[in-house]
Structure formats: C-alpha cells, structure tokens
Amino acid sequence: MQRSSSHAWRLAAAGGLLLSASLAAQAPTITVRDAWVREPMGGRNMTGAFAIVENTGPTPKAIVAASASISDTVELHEMKNEAGMMRMSPVKRLEVPAHGTLELKPGSFHVMLFDIKTRPSPGETVRLTLTFDDGTTVTTEAAVRKPGER
C-alpha cells in the first residue's frame, strides 16, 4: 500500500516536473538583476561579481557555473563570517529557492573572477553568464563599481 502510494507520488512528482519543465520552456522563471562587478582591489588580479537572482517558479534552482567576459577562471564561492573569523570557500552550487531570491553579495555567496584579463574600471560593464542546474543560462551586463559603493 505504502509502496503504491509512493509510486503514485513519484508519478505525480514526475508529472509535476514535466509540467514545470514545459512551463519553464515557455516563461523563464529565473531573472538576474542589479548585477555588478567590484573593481579589483589593491593590485589583485581577481575580484567578485554580485547580483540578485530571483526564481519565480515552483522548482528550486541552483547556479552550477558562471562565466565572465574578463576572466577564463570563474568560480562560485561562499564567504562566511563565523564569530569574527572570515572563511572563504569554493562551492559547487548556489541554491535559489522556489519562489525565492538568492542575493550574491560581498561577505556572502558570490562569483569569483580569477586571472583577470582586462582590468575593469567603474563605468564599464562585464558580461556575466550564470548556468543553472536545469541547463539554462542567463546572461547579463554587470556594471563595474568601486568597492564599498554597495
């Protein structure tokens, strides 16, 4: 009995997934706004990229990769302040909850651009592409800002 109900659930869930997949194909549920790249600080050839990622759909999504016009080495990172001790670590995915928002911001989850090819200056933009776990990508123009401006 339990087995068949679990089977039914799985079917329903699969149906739901198919439905949301087809809906996703019609209307994108992910929007990326207010994207910005911090002007590299103190002679470093790396910097962070930030944005607000909103998921209007019923399915959780996750950023699994990112790319940028000024760097070939782009990673997803997390910065965490644990009782005054700052930890920075690479992560495999950044979760965007269903009907929710993920804010990529300094001191928190963010995108790291290493080995910057062209040093970006305020007033310029950097093309930033986020790849999600469902294979979709969102590309946006991220404004270059001075550290501490936001």
Residues binding other proteins (CB under 8 A): 41-44, 46, 48, 73, 75, 77, 79, 81, 84-90, 106-107, 112, 114-115, 147-148
Q: Between 57 and 120, whose beta carbon lies closer to other proteins?
A: 120
Residue 131 Cβ, how far from other proteins at the closest point, in Å? Answer: 17
Residue 19 Cβ, how far from other proteins at the closest point, in Å? Answer: 36
Q: Between 39 and 134, whose beta carbon lies closer to other proteins?
A: 39
CA distance 78 to 134: 22
Residue 95 is classified by DSSP as E
In degrees and rounded to multiples of 5, residue 18 shows phi and psi of: -60, -45
Specify whether the CB–CB gap between 89 and 95 falls below 8 A. Answer: no
Quick one: which of 123, 143, 112 has its CA closest to 32? 143
Residue 55 Cβ, how far from other proteins at the closest point, in Å? Answer: 26
